Chains A and B, each alone.
Chain A
Amino acid sequence: MSNYSYILLIPLLPLLTFLVLGIFGRKYFKTTAGFIGSASLLASTVLSFIAAKQYFFVDGKLNGVYQKIIAFKYTWLSFSPNVSIDMGIIIDPISVMMLIVVTSVSLMVHVFSLGYMKGEERFATYYAFLSLFTFSMLGLILSVNIFQVYIFWELVGASSFLLIGYYFSKPSAVAAAKKAFIVTRFADLGFLIGILILGFYGGTLDIGLLIERLTATQSAEFINMTTASFLGASMLTWGLSLIFIGGAGKSAMFPLHIWLPDAMEGPTPVSALIHAATMVVAGVYLVARLFPIFSMDPSSLSLVTYIGAFSAFFAAVIACTQTDIKRVLAYSTMSQIGYMMFALGISKLGGEEGLGYMASLFHLFTHAFFKSLLFLGAGAVIHMVHSNEMKDMGGLRKLMPITHIAFLIACLAIAGIPPFAGFFSKEEILTAAFHSNKLIYGVALFTAALTSFYMFRLYFSIFWSKESTLQHHHGEGTWSMKLPLLILAACAVLVGFVPFSNFITSDGKALETHIDLIFSIAPVGLTLIAISIAAYLYKKENDTPSKLAAQFGILYQAAFKKFYVDELYLFITKKIIFPFIGQPIAWADKNIVDGFMLLLGKTTAKISFKIKGIQSGKVQNYTLYFFGGILILSILFIYTWK
């Protein structure tokens, strides 16, 4: 058991860069900020690779099961003797895998934005926020205590707010950043209450202890947690589903997905990092981290499955109609995350049924690479064309050869064509779905077809359709933009062959998986058909797509308008919360509560005026009052004092 304390360095390096660039960025590191950021990231990537090698190959396995090693633990804030928030680092298959994913993708984004963000005057702050984000994401992965997860969860939300709102002078960017933070914040509320429930009933906040206590069916905590119920569902279901809502908010699942498309306002490398590989995946990671507890409670698992499946299907449908390439990619991310969620949802703990768990994490692993590649490619295209809309792009394959090839590889990977990474992970998910739940399998299949359709629709309309009308174009950007594309393209191809199943499984034991080709004919066949339809529609400039769209009529319009979900949210906030709750309360405060105080003041003034009337200066009144007084006193004394 070699000492793993050097892992503490991995999150601390980005934090260090954040502090350095944040405080001194503007003055000293005006231009060199990029190199510092990328250098520190490079160091932490190397460290994480070393840690992965050491953990997976050297001493992670103990009689066949991967151990959870707590490298470092320190009580940060103790509420009561056994319930306390303590900061620590946990090394186990999922966290190491995520370490690799986050650090490498973040490195690629850092290198890419060297070229992409060259001209920006707040260059240093951009890198500061980027390293803050990486730090909080790494912290989230390595956390030992649920509250520690919550802490880094909030930090991730805040840094994504800062990054999305980077072009702060654009009001739309500010609104998008606000919306992102508020929606995720709303989900975090569910997460917080989930933690409180688990913490209170489980008696501790430490994840390891919680899993240990809540999975042993005869443990005291488990029994009183399942018996105590509120509005029908047991406390366990409440806790877990609330935590899932927290995760769903961050991973933009169905009800809370509205912030993801708007988050495209931020710079493209940011969306590549945040909305492709890291932040949106945090929800999946959270469910995976607490999976043993989730598996004890079938109802919350079914919630996960159905929300995942529905958002996968829902996003795929909308993606087919979007014209802004970044919005298309955003919805495709949402759909892929939906895949991962329902893969987790349908899986059980233990050997064979744990396939879903392994498949979803494998998909997470591969998806991170090719989705960030797609985003970076889109970034390069936008950098060239200076607009997001598909219409004014086309025929760029000659102008941007490398981006074109990389983009093609990524599209093939995401569509799930055999040699590429996407195929392997999607196959695993489809097999797992096939074994456990036929309905989900059908939906998954159809969404897979839709995915390949909209991906290739995007590909053809960018690189093929009409000849590019661009007069001046300044090449494909420096090597700093091309290099990450190439590396990621390579990963998108190779990563599929990584024997994922014998590293990460639901119970730590290696799992033998085999790709049976017969089973995979159906999905691959469907994807090929979808690709050919897309090619037919979009390869050459023709009006069939608009004709086709007209046929669908209202369905097309609805999908284009994102099924009016945004408008629904806006309606709720603008029409209901502000005028019907905010206004009356503000009014009530000014008039009723304040009014009451002023009323007090006024009444005292009025009373004092009345009393003044008595001093009317008329002698006779005084004598009358005088006599009245005598009379009362005498009656009083005589009758009471007898």
Chain B
Amino acid sequence: MNLSLLILLPIITAMAILFSNGLKQIRVIGLLGSIAQLGLASWLLKLYLNERAIGNTATYLFESNYPWFSALHINYHIGIDGISLAMILLTSLIVVAGILVSWTMDKLSKEYFFLLVLLSMGAYGFFISLDLFTLFFFLEVAVIPKFLLIGIWGSGNKQNSAMKLALMLMAGSALVFVGLMGIYYNTHTFDIVQITQIGISAGVQQFFFPFAFIGFGIFAALFPFHTWVPDGHASAPTAASMFLAGISMKLGGYGCLRIASLMPDAAHHYAWIIILLATIAIIYGAFATMMQTDLKYINAYSSISHCGFVILGIGMMNKTSINGAVIQMVSHGLMTALFFAAIGMIYSRTHTRMIAQLGGLLKAMPFISTVFVIAGLCSLGLPGFSGFVAEMTVFMGSWQNPNGVYRLATIISGASIVVTAVYILRATGKTIMGPISNEHALLGDATWNEKLAAVLLIAGIVIIGIAPFLLNALIGPGTDNIMLQVGKAITLK
């Protein structure tokens, strides 16, 4: 099955949206496109699984390779392994939920849906590309729609935060570009498969790794560069913040993973900085969330804390922790999307996100409050939801790291589960429970599209929560492949 279909479909939907008129037509086409994409992704999963079943142990499947700029050895080389397939499934799920949530977006709806689909197309391209340049290309494609989505349809000081977001992401991609150039200069190819075979000399790695890693780190809210996350998410419209948190942070995480696997020596060399930053991000994000009063800020800061786990997992450089990092990416994607969807629903009804003014919504809108509670409990790490599986794998993985100091880092990031419990309960306690103010009492519950979006995401969370061995089997070979290079690096050093 040709993977470019994954990119072609969103383009077709986008074009169809442009040619249709009237909100009803646009949103139906958008929904059909995204559902078709979800179908395509799950069909791809089926193909991938029985490909693996018949014992095809090639690292990347469904590869196709067309020269793009042959002079610069850049070719459009795409293929997927377990990890990128998991990411594609995650993205397609969030896209469907996102389009369902923004069902009543009447302001400039055509452009809105067009940008949403474009953003998803960027993400799909990013996950399937095996050529660093195509990877970078799709990374850029994904940045522009974010800026427009926040700038035009946002709330609060949207221009300011859109600008900040775009500038920081641009800085991130600039750093990534420097890293890629470094790699290209040394291996004369952009193709990931060849780079792993050729291998980059340790000295060069140590010079270019920080650029690429920090570049992707900015996308994944690495500690000092996370300031775009709170403003960006808080002033983005619901669907955009779902995409922003659900997908664009995963681009960063996935990118960090690829870079760590391409330059394993440097990853080992800089492991202590990565872990230090990740631990700070986790604890710092958790404590900062405790003090927030705006629901969206709470979720934004908690995404920083959760993405810290992803980077902690990558920093620890062993099989379980990288497995945990990937699961955390998937689970965090679903969880934040659900949380933002719930906040969006509450906001569209009560028109306020300040938890001080909200209260006792459980009476008025039982469905939305249960969704809110489920999202909270999942981010809390309650067993039975995906948050628990992800965090525990990361903890187990990072605990196996022989270095004593890293163990201290694990304990500190472990302490974050308590702080997460505090701010989640504080948020749910204030908004859902407690006495209900009269004007909120008569608000209606979720409409059918919001219910469908919530159910979709909850299904994802619960499936991973209850049967993690499925996801484990899917991403297993992917992490083995990464560990192969990392293993080589250790012996190399």
Contacts and interface: CB of A to CB of B under 8 A. Distances in A.
Interface string A148-192: 001110110010010001001101011101100110011011001
B243 interface: no
B446 interface: no
B16 interface: no
B178 interface: no
A196 B410 contact: yes
A6 interface: no
A510 interface: no
B382 A155 contact: yes
Contact of A77 (B228, B418, B472): B472
Interface string B413-449: 0110110011001100100111110000000000000
B418 A182 contact: yes
Contacts of B377: 158
A196 B432 contact: no
A147 B392 contact: yes
B264 interface: no
A603 interface: no
B337 to A, nearest CB: 22
Contact of B290 (A161, A171, A196, A578): A578
B258 interface: no
A621 interface: no
A382 interface: no
B433 A165 contact: yes
A178 B429 contact: yes
B482 to A, nearest CB: 15
Contact of B433 (A77, A174, A200): A174
Interface stretch (B29-37, B104-112, B343-351, B395-403): B395-403
B335 to A, nearest CB: 16
A78 B469 contact: yes
A168 B432 contact: yes
Interface in B142-175: 164, 167-168
A278 B468 CA distance: 29
Nearest to B223: A593
Interface string B358-371: 00101100100000
B9 to A, nearest CB: 33
A585 B426 contact: no
B418 A186 contact: yes
Contacts of A173: 433
Contacts of A189: 414-415, 417-418
B434 A174 contact: yes
Contacts of B164: 597
Nearest to A179: B425
Given A578-B290, A582-B290, A151 B388 contact: yes
B396 A79 contact: yes
Nearest to A189: B418
Given A168-B360, A178-B426, A181-B421, A79 B393 contact: yes
Nearest to B411: A193
Interface residues of B, number: 56
Contacts of A77: 389, 392-393, 468-469, 472
Nearest to B318: A80
A597 B227 contact: yes
A582 B382 contact: no
B284 interface: yes
Given A182-B418, A582-B290, A586-B292, A169 B435 contact: yes
A63 interface: no
Interface in B255-306: 284, 287-288, 290-292, 301
A154 B388 contact: yes
Contacts of B414: 189, 192-193, 196
Contacts of B384: 151, 155
Contact of A169 (B320, B417, B434): B434
A26 B399 CA distance: 44
Nearest to A228: B404
Contacts of B472: 77-78
B250 interface: no
B399 A200 contact: yes
Interface in A520-573: none
Contacts of A78: 469, 472
A175 B429 CA distance: 8
B233 interface: no
Contacts, number: 127
Contact of A171 (B168, B288, B422, B434): B434
B226 interface: yes
A177 B430 CA distance: 12
Interface centre among B167, B228, B422, B435 (most CB of A within 10 A): B422
B227 A593 contact: yes
Nearest to A155: B383
Contacts of A177: 425, 429, 433
Contact of B320 (A80, A168, A188, A601): A80
Contacts of B39: none
A151 B290 CA distance: 25
Contacts of A593: 224, 226-227
A147 B388 CA distance: 11
A23 B400 CA distance: 40
Interface in B315-331: 319-320, 323
Given A79-B393, A80-B319, A168-B433, A26 B366 contact: yes
A212 interface: no
Contacts of A196: 395-396, 399, 410, 414
Contacts of A188: 417
A174 B355 CA distance: 15
B284 to A, nearest CB: 6
A192 B417 contact: yes
Nearest to A200: B399
B400 A182 contact: no
A585 B291 contact: yes
B328 to A, nearest CB: 13
Given A80-B320, A155-B382, A589 B227 contact: yes
A83 interface: yes
A614 interface: no
Given A192-B395, A597-B164, A200 B429 contact: no
A68 to B, nearest CB: 24
Interface centre among A77, A152, A185 (most CB of B within 10 A): A77
A188 B226 CA distance: 29
B288 A589 contact: yes
Contact of B287 (A147, A165, A581, A597): A581
A181 B425 contact: yes
Interface centre among B290, B291, B397 (most CB of A within 10 A): B291
B425 A199 contact: no
A85 B411 CA distance: 20
Contact of A582 (B287, B381, B393, B417): B287
A622 interface: no
A155 B400 CA distance: 26
Nearest to A587: B291
B469 A76 contact: yes
A152 B400 contact: no
A169 B360 contact: yes
Contacts of A181: 421, 425
Contacts of A165: 429, 433
B292 A171 contact: no
Interface string A573-586: 00000100111011
A471 interface: no
Contacts of B421: 181-182, 185
13 contacts: A79-B320, A79-B323, A79-B393, A79-B396, A79-B397, A154-B388, A165-B433, A168-B433, A581-B287, A586-B291, A589-B301, A593-B227, A597-B168
In the complex, the 9 A-B pairs of residues with the closest C-beta atoms, listed nearest first = A586-B291, A151-B383, A168-B433, A185-B421, A174-B433, A594-B227, A585-B287, A79-B320, A77-B468
Interface of B: 164, 167-168, 224, 226-228, 230-231, 284, 287-288, 290-292, 301, 319-320, 323, 360, 362-363, 366, 377, 381-384, 388-389, 392-393, 395-397, 399-400, 410-411, 414-415, 417-418, 421-422, 425-426, 429, 432-436, 468-469, 472
